[in-house]
Structure 1
Amino acid sequence: MMGNWFDGILEKLRYPNCKIVLVHDQDFLLNDESLLNNLKEEGYEVVRFENSVSFRYLYEQKYRASQNKYKLLVYTNDNIIFPYEYIKGNFNTEVDISTIFPKFSAPILRSMNREDLDALFTVHAQYQGSSSNKDTLEYIVKHLYKISYEIIDSEVELYKLLLFLHYRKREIPQVVQDFLIEKLKQCKVFHNLPIEKLISSAGSFYVFLEEQWTYFVTEYTKCEREKISEPSSLYRAHPFTNDDVWRLMVNLFMEGTISKVKKEPTLQIPKWMKIGIEEESKLETLHEKLNHISKIVNEKLARIKLYKDWIELIDLVAEYKYTAMESNDTVYVEEANTLMMKVNQDFQDWMLKQYHTLISLPPIPKPKMVHHVPHVLHAQRRKNEKVALLVLDGMSFIQWKQVKKHLKENGFSFVENGIFAWVPTLTSVSRQAIFSGSIPFTFSKTIKTTAAEEKYWKNFWEKQGMLKQYVAYQKGLGKEDYSRENILALKRNSVKIYGAVIDVIDKFTHHAVLGEKSLVSNLEIWLQTNYLVNLLADLIKEKYTIYLTADHGNTIAKGIGRISEGVLVDQKGERVRIYSDTILYEDSASKIDAVGWNNAGLPENYNVLLSQYGQAFVQKGEEIVTHGGISIEEVVVPFIKVQQN
């Protein structure tokens, strides 16, 4: 028996004696990092075919001249015919999920997450049932996701299931969600619960948990105050008193996922409940929280493999850093910086070896990189739905924690994810990639400026069949007092697609006189103006579906001294130097203490030299907040869907 689900695909692609292999992949099987790494080991350069114009351009510029250097694997996820000149004399094939899992129902297979195919391959081998949708689905729910839905008949069991799904970040496909919703709705005990929301959205589930916890504490308080010797049956039988449920609740409080409840100063609270109560003396719980996060980060760091693991990790490290900065305790801030440095040693190594793989991955079902964002917006958009994309220029996951806290207090909830920025993490590179939906290689003429963003944004949507008058773009928002009149999405009734740049965080970054302290306090002052709250509330009122993201994050760095190369260097950043001449680039790389970048996805005459972690090419000893490099806090940025509770 084959050891891996994609061995059959590798076998199929192993022998063709030609320079280009063309693959039709309508089942998104190549949406897999391990498979792409294997193909690379087989000598393939993997390229996703978007359309014939951009592919021809890429092929002529990058591959034709060095054809003997590469074996090219070009794949499409669409039902198209490749241009004739590439088919001629080359190998043309297709890959299909039902040939890998012949015993299962094909429609059910197609709705599965591609990350689960390894585990699916294992359980497929033992399957004895029919290939009907019903049999396949029941088997997959029980054996792949290990959910015994028929024994979930109490709130305790339901809480356990929901915590298993959301806290463990088990992403389950829509078809499995629908199956569970249908089964659970048949149970009378759950008739008053919003089962659909609780299963399908982690954000909604956490809001629900917070409400339940507030209610639980209120009930307890009432009993204590009124000296009722016997706490109410609700209190006694609540799932929070179950050990398994409470253990994970403790983690959610520790990791900042759910908020604590403020208590009355005089009230005595049982020891076990204290973790969920906002204490007057926070130091002990703060220490516990940071220790807990640090332990999890170190455990995850030891077994990291895929890009998704880094997204989970930055979320935790950012929580640690933001909590430490909020405490104003220099010891904790130092410990946060040490942890960040440890993470970045491994992350830099991964970036140099693996980052290029991300470029070959398809943008759907989930975006992996910032230029995937408009593709995902288009794929998820329903007919006539209005969509707003707000790019908070320079917002790292650390600032997102601060923004999120403020928005949460104002009644918003979120579907949170992370994506990778383009390297170098400069606005002109990564923000243009967002609005164009393209890799930087394709906009070499405008790579030093952001002036073409509006044109690129409108062109992208025009290609998707959206007339230009329905598409709006704005930049430079956030510095003025908020007014509906300034927002094109609210001013013009015709707008269906809205892209906007709010660049206050980037401005605060570059003017952070006291380093990160300035950034935190300036951001707090800006958030308190409620510019963002009002903008989001007004967009929701106008029925917009809202996404927030960033083009890059930021990091702290210390100057190693300015490097004077005059006109020899093409573009100078605080953490990056760009050379149009390869010889000059190689010469500088040999002299400067810097990291040579592999230029994945960048134009030919764009050679990138990056400063080491924690360093910048500025006056020796000067401490700044900046961006441009490949630290995790610069590269992995939030991608958030915003909802109102």
Structure 2
Amino acid sequence: MSSWRNLVLDKITVEESQLVIVCDPDGLLQEENLLLSLREKGYNVILYDDPVAFRYIYESEYRQKWDKGEETKTRILLLNKNRDQKMIPYDILQRGSVVSIGIHHIFPKLSYTIVEKVEKSYYEELYAAHEKYDEEPLGDRETKKFILERVYSIVLQSVKTDKDLFKMLFRIHYKKVEIPDILAEYLMNALRTMPALRKWELETLFDREKFFQLLQGKWHDFLVALSSGIKVEIPFDEREIRGYIEDLFLEGVLSPVEVPEYSGLPLWTHVGITVDPFKDTKKRLKKLLIRIEKEVEKASKYRDWQEIARLWAEGLYFRYRLGWEIPEDLAHFTEVHKKIELLFKKWLLTNFGTLCYLPYRPAPVMVHHIPHYIASEVKEKIALIVIDGLALDQWRVIREELDGFLLEEHVVYSWVPTLTFTSRRSLFAGDSPHYFATMSSSTNDEPHWVKFWQDKNYSAEKIYYKRGIKLIDPGEVDEIVCDPKKTILGLVVNTVDDFMHSAQMGTFEMHQKVRIWVQQGYFNQLIDELLDRGFDVYISSDHGNVYATGRGTPREGVLVEKKGNRARIYGELDFLMKTAHKFPSVVWPEEYFTPGYSVLLADGLSAFARDGEKVVAHGGISLEEVLVPFIRVRRGG
């Protein structure tokens, strides 16, 4: 069966022009597989959202060569998200071919206003169902029902009891099924007509964080009731639901609880019961490593690696709860780690170029998407807390110490090299490093943060930026929240980065220091104060870090522009290649970085440091460095 992607590709690739302008108001091209196919066909996709930035790339890398009759490695596909071409400059239109694509070309029998809300990752199933449908076009209501049944496998007539409802909810929330608000509202309205379901607060049950919070609170009650032979409202013991329970505890979504007597409880419940913390942790880590290894071997999409990164962070958290020394029976841990880094490197080298063009809704994919996502939420007061250098496993440590909050957790990709002046600047600028004319090593991102929000029509007096925050003194919190005029806050907390550069005992030490900092510092207080003042609070990181082993230090003097334990940046490719042959390293593709510079990365878990020296560092492309947390914090819990 043909794919909807083929319809789009056929319209574009029939053009033989060096420059193809695609009017794509529905963002069809911002889909992972389509972007990869276009790259394979020799197109450099450029999103036309900043005319100045586009002109810089076009003039410096393409037009001058084309005017001289020279060939370029790639053709340009200019992605215009408007319905017409009026915004495109005349000289560009004259040089290129124009193509228009839209949802109505692919799904003519379904309501446009409903289909446009469905995430592109579900279009494969929707297209297959649409191709089989040979009746009259559907209106809004019928399209909602059609999509719920054919794409999300939700048949309203089959959801009549508590068991039916919770089987559906466990599947939706565990698998992170993205149901658009317009469909969720239709679904909830239909469920409210079921007499047996009217007792439930459906808005709470359809909120993923609140749903799992409810499960956590009811799990202990269920165990006590089960030992007494009493039935409870949530059917944890339903066969299909039991299949999710072990995974939810294994992945750290739910936490085991203590019960006075567990020996008489069914064996399947023991995964959610604290018996012997040390033995429980070893058992969970063993199962988790088996699960991660299976996931790594079949990973092919950016979401696969986001999920693996989350699971691996949980694995690191478990492993270092066992202590500093690795027991012999945890040798599997090292094997899995090496496999992760090998396969992730292979995937990233091929797919990294597509990530920046993916949409920032329903959640950001890369760090530079974060301010765009926040701005799209249309809130009056926002605070973005960037914890410099925070890895996902260290976020897991922090999360355990936070109390009284609902945490909406996502995983995003950093820019490579995973260095502060690259990835953090992109985060606060909301832009790719491709558009940075110079490679300044300044860590002051205030001008970029201010410009981003001024471009969104916020006045400068409302915008606030502060770096160098430690949160070890209550006076820091007072200083941040004292000015009521400042409603757009960009805050850089440097404490974890300081820990990283002084760590002597690797990840174990990092976890210990981060835990003590959250327990004794003022991170909790900062979040509390911001929420109390009506801020929407977000937490993220510019890059992570990894525990690496030195394989020698290159001695190049002025031949290298920037040097670190995991990344080195050169002004000349020839200089880079001389070093690349002498050390275990990876040459990062030039098209993924600021034009005019070349990047050499330490391979695997190695470092550009004294042979055998252990360092906690960043700059490379390990899973722990590239995938970082993005959290929305709400009151609750």
State the TM bucket, normalised to the shorter chain. over 0.9
Partner of 2:503: 512
CA distance in 1, matches of 2:476, 2:394: 25
Aligned partner of 1:151 among 144, 151, 158: 158
Q: 1:129·1:136 contact (CA, 8 Å) conserved in 2? A: no
CA 1:583/1:306 → structure 2, altered by over 3 Å: closer, same or farther?
same
Partner of 1:51: 50
CA distance in 2, matches of 1:389, 1:312: 23
CA distance in 2, matches of 1:334, 1:438: 41
TM-score, normalised by the number of residues in structure 2: 0.94
Partner of 1:228: none
Q: Offset at 1:186?
A: 2.2
Aligned partner of 1:247 among 243, 250, 253: 243
Partner of 1:168: 175
CA 1:124/1:564 → structure 2, altered by over 3 Å: closer, same or farther?
same
CA distance in 2, matches of 1:296, 1:535: 37
Q: 2:48·2:79 contact (CA, 8 Å) conserved in 1? A: yes
Partner of 1:74: 78
CA distance in 2, matches of 1:316, 1:502: 25
Partner of 2:272: 276
Aligned partner of 1:463 among 446, 452, 455: 455
Q: Which runs of 5 or more residues in structure 1 are unaligned?
A: 224-230
Aligned residues: 626
RMSD between aligned residues: 2.0
Letter in 2 for 1:391: V
CA distance in 2, matches of 1:447, 1:149: 57
TM-score, normalised by the number of residues in structure 1: 0.93
CA distance in 2, matches of 1:486, 1:76: 45
Aligned partner of 2:474 among 473, 482, 501: 482
Q: 1:571·1:578 contact (CA, 8 Å) conserved in 2? A: yes
Partner of 1:15: 14
Partner of 2:374: 377
CA 1:288/1:267 → structure 2, altered by over 3 Å: closer, same or farther?
closer
Q: Is 1:96 aligned to 2:102, yes or no?
A: yes
Letter in 2 for 1:627: H
Q: Is 1:426 aligned to 2:426, yes or no?
A: no
CA 1:238/1:584 → structure 2, altered by over 3 Å: closer, same or farther?
closer
Between stretches 59-68 and 340-349, larger displacement belongs to 59-68
CA 1:17/1:255 → structure 2, altered by over 3 Å: closer, same or farther?
closer
Partner of 2:539: 548
Q: Offset at 1:302?
A: 2.5
Percent identity over the alignment?
A: 30
Q: 1:421·1:637 contact (CA, 8 Å) conserved in 2? A: yes
Between stretches 357-366 and 30-39, larger displacement belongs to 357-366
Partner of 2:115: 109
CA distance in 2, matches of 1:530, 1:585: 43
Detail structure 1 runs of 4+ shifted over 6 Å in the superposition.
Answer: none
CA 1:467/1:333 → structure 2, altered by over 3 Å: closer, same or farther?
farther
Q: Offset at 1:484?
A: 6.4
Q: Offset at 1:634?
A: 0.4
Partner of 2:60: 61
Deviations along 1:156-185, one digit per CA (max 9) or x if unpaired, are 211111111011222222222112211222
Q: Offset at 1:463?
A: 0.6
Q: 2:313·2:392 contact (CA, 8 Å) conserved in 1? A: yes
CA 1:15/1:269 → structure 2, altered by over 3 Å: closer, same or farther?
closer
Alignment of 1:280-429 (within 5 A): 281-328=276-323, 330-331=326-327, 334-382=331-379, 385-407=380-402, 410-429=403-422
Q: Offset at 1:153?
A: 1.9
Q: 1:611·1:629 contact (CA, 8 Å) conserved in 2? A: yes
CA 1:425/1:266 → structure 2, altered by over 3 Å: closer, same or farther?
closer
Partner of 2:630: 639
Partner of 1:226: none
Partner of 1:227: none
Q: Offset at 1:301?
A: 1.8
Q: 1:440·1:447 contact (CA, 8 Å) conserved in 2? A: no
Q: 2:560·2:569 contact (CA, 8 Å) conserved in 1? A: yes
CA distance in 2, matches of 1:450, 1:238: 50
CA 1:108/1:515 → structure 2, altered by over 3 Å: closer, same or farther?
same
Partner of 1:450: 443
Give the secondary-structure state (helix, strand or coil) at the position aligned to 1:17: coil
Q: Is 1:38 aligned to 2:37, yes or no?
A: yes
CA distance in 2, matches of 1:189, 1:507: 56
Partner of 1:256: 252
Aligned partner of 2:488 among 489, 497, 504: 497
Q: Offset at 1:565?
A: 0.9
CA distance in 1, matches of 2:109, 2:529: 50
